[in-house]
Structure 1
Amino acid sequence: MNHFRTNLGRTTLAVAGATVVAGVSLAAFAETRHPAVETLVEMGYPAPQEGELVHIPPTMADLEASDLHPETKQVIRRGYDLFTNTQQLRGENVFNDMNCSSCHLGEGRQPFSAPVWAAAVTLPNYRGKNDHVNNLEERIAGCFAYSMNGTPPEYGSDDMLALTAYHQWLAKGAPMYPDQPIYGRGFPHPDRPEELSYENGQALYAENCAVCHSEDGSGLYQDGEYVFPAPWGDGSNNWGAGIVRLFTAAGFIKNNMPLGQPLSLSDQEAWDIAYYMNSQERPQDPRYTGDVAETLERFGPTFHRHSLYGQEGPNGDILADHANWGEKGDEVKPWNVGQPRFEELKAQ
């Protein structure tokens, strides 16, 4: 286990240690709070609202104690291993310094850090990013294409099956297509301040973030081993990843950063750091048409209206006005980008 994964284990918000059965879900009421949720509230996170779905994902220890077939357990273990050490697919499916657990902290279980079990019970569903109904495999494929700046494992492949099995294991006990809002889902973002400050974000980044992610945003390696991810540059996610949206970055930072000190930054500070971080260059969006203005015209009304893509950067240059694809170069094309689906249904 590398240093990064060990640190995540220490800062998982007591959810893992508090799980007592393999998957617990309940509609939230004050008198039925799970101990893990009590810990979250003590740390400053909001208490569940009445009627919210609270799900405590099972652990890998729960997996070993379960009655699942040994072969099934083996596949779920493989999914866990891929999720927490996606770098083992470097050069094949991953072309940057990211693991799945770089964004989905606590092994994908942590509330307010986009816990991934929610995808397993809310998909298939429509996704505006690609304008069609996505299943769980396609949602994971999107993370490879954008957040990993790579190309996904094929549908139905051993690696994709393992990843989906791990997601579904974490969802054990949660209802499919829940009618209630999900407690701790996504990266809930604070209200956006009236003004954002690049200069303040730069100073705050140097003070709070650079020790792990480096002054130049290149991340941190120790003895040649990946430790902390790069928030920008060729080792980071590309311009199509969800975290390039300012509100997503602000929500992640507010709820999870600095690591081990969640909720320690003010709303303004979280937004300013997000603004500074997302004003830096990174590999091109795989949906790039060859012209940044044309790409912005196509995706500006939807996805990129929340990012700085195609806007003037701190040096006066237009952000993303380049054909830099990072480590993957221009030969690797993610197979899942721009693939329409259900065209015959839309034609009816």
Structure 2
Amino acid sequence: MNSPRAPRRAARLILALSVGLGLGLGAGALAQSTGAVAPRTYAVKDKDGTSLPAYTIPDDTAIFRHPDAEAILYGQRLLNETRRLLPDHVGAAMNCSSCHVMQGKKPLGAPFINTYNSFPQVNPRAGREMTLEERINGCMIRSMNGKKLPADSREMQAMVAYMKWLAQDVPHGARVQIKNGSPIDMDLVPDPARGRAIYGRQCASCHGADGEGRKDARGHIVFPPLWGGESFNIGAGLARTYKAAAFIYDNMPMGVHTDGAWGEGRTLSQQDAVDVAEFFTHMPRPDFPLKDKDWPSGKKPKDARY
């Protein structure tokens, strides 16, 4: 007979592996994944604007006390090690956490904190309402340049379980008052030649002189490629200049920070971020075969790649 402590031991092993197997997230993220970064608390507003109990970004050790701990931890691993664990579904040298910083916990780093409670929702690019599983698969075929996962697969349901846990029982439709990213002035005119120079000074040491990214000795992703055959395709959100600029402005360069946990030193101005984004987003990258299906209403953003 299995010991009643076996699931908990398995969950701890999964977390240890998740932290130790080359996540490509940097020291700040590793500190977050082990609970070393102090929790931060945010206001919560219901759909009608009513204030609800505050939300605190949870420590991963709390997962062990959850009845669905193994699924949650497996989902977390999949987000951190997407390429390694899902080789048949990921064509790019990318992990979900390459863009969703600190396992989806970082303010201004595309956090997952409101994700579970925001779906289903209308997606303007698709022109219809989408489920959370469909939205995840959108990332699989765009940012991962790969293939969809079956909606009822163990892997898909594990990722959903992690996002549900991260919501921490905030009611559906309510929102934690945390920002996904800063608004970028879309009237800024990009200068790709200037962006190339900024890339060489601020980005190439991690992402490579030719945008090829960095891997460790085991071939695991440390820093993702920003262009080329192993990067995200033209259908990805980060292939758009101003979308990429917002992420750069809030989070890069990763190792430079005077405030906060990750790249929050405001080393780059918004103009810098727009210029470097224009440079690398327009470098060669894979096509997106379904691009003719996007923005059926015709309301295409001005920085769309097609």
**Superposed pair shares fold, TM > 0.5:** yes
Residue 58 of structure 1 aligns with which residue?
58
Q: Does 1:187 align with 2:207?
A: no
Residue 26 of structure 1 aligns with which residue?
43
CA deviation map 1:249-305 (0-9, x unaligned): 01000000001322221111011111111111211113145xxxxx89x76943453
Q: How far is 1:4 from its partner?
A: 1.8
* 1:102/1:3 CA distance change after superposition, 3 Å: closer
Equivalent in 293, 300, 305 of residue 302 of structure 2? 305
Within-5 A mapping of 1:59-208: 59-64=59-64, 66=65, 68-69=66-67, 72-178=68-174, 182-208=176-202
Kept in 2: contact 1:137–1:164 (CA 8 A)? yes
- Alpha-carbon distance in 2 for matches of 1:87, 1:174: 31
CA deviation map 1:177-211 (0-9, x unaligned): 12x6x533322233235422111100000000000
Gaps of at least 5 residues in structure 2 are 1-19, 257-263
Residue 5 of structure 1 aligns with which residue?
25
- Alpha-carbon distance in 2 for matches of 1:250, 1:270: 5
Kept in 2: contact 1:193–1:268 (CA 8 A)? no
Q: How far is 1:15 from its partner?
A: 8.8
2:302 is aligned with what amino acid? R
What TM-score do the two structures reach when normalised by structure 1?
0.71
CA-based RMSD of the aligned residues comes to 2.8
* 1:133/1:59 CA distance change after superposition, 3 Å: same
* 1:161/1:86 CA distance change after superposition, 3 Å: same
- Alpha-carbon distance in 2 for matches of 1:54, 1:271: 35
What TM-score do the two structures reach when normalised by structure 2?
0.80
- Alpha-carbon distance in 1 for matches of 2:132, 2:216: 34
Within-5 A mapping of 1:245-324: 245-261=240-256, 262=264, 263-288=266-291, 301-303=298-300, 305-307=302-304, 309-310=305-306
Q: Percent identity?
A: 30
1:203 is aligned with what amino acid? A
CA deviation map 1:294-321 (0-9, x unaligned): x89x7694345323x25xxxxxxxxxxx
Gaps of at least 5 residues in structure 1 are 29-49, 290-294, 311-348
Q: How far is 1:7 from its partner?
A: 2.6
- Alpha-carbon distance in 2 for matches of 1:205, 1:174: 40
Q: How far is 1:57 from its partner?
A: 2.7
* 1:143/1:55 CA distance change after superposition, 3 Å: farther
Q: How far is 1:89 from its partner?
A: 3.5
Q: How far is 1:53 from its partner?
A: 9.6
SS in 1 for 2:273: helix
- Alpha-carbon distance in 2 for matches of 1:273, 1:51: 40
* 1:266/1:11 CA distance change after superposition, 3 Å: farther
- Alpha-carbon distance in 2 for matches of 1:75, 1:26: 28
* 1:15/1:189 CA distance change after superposition, 3 Å: farther
Q: How far is 1:5 from its partner?
A: 3.1
Kept in 2: contact 1:187–1:248 (CA 8 A)? no
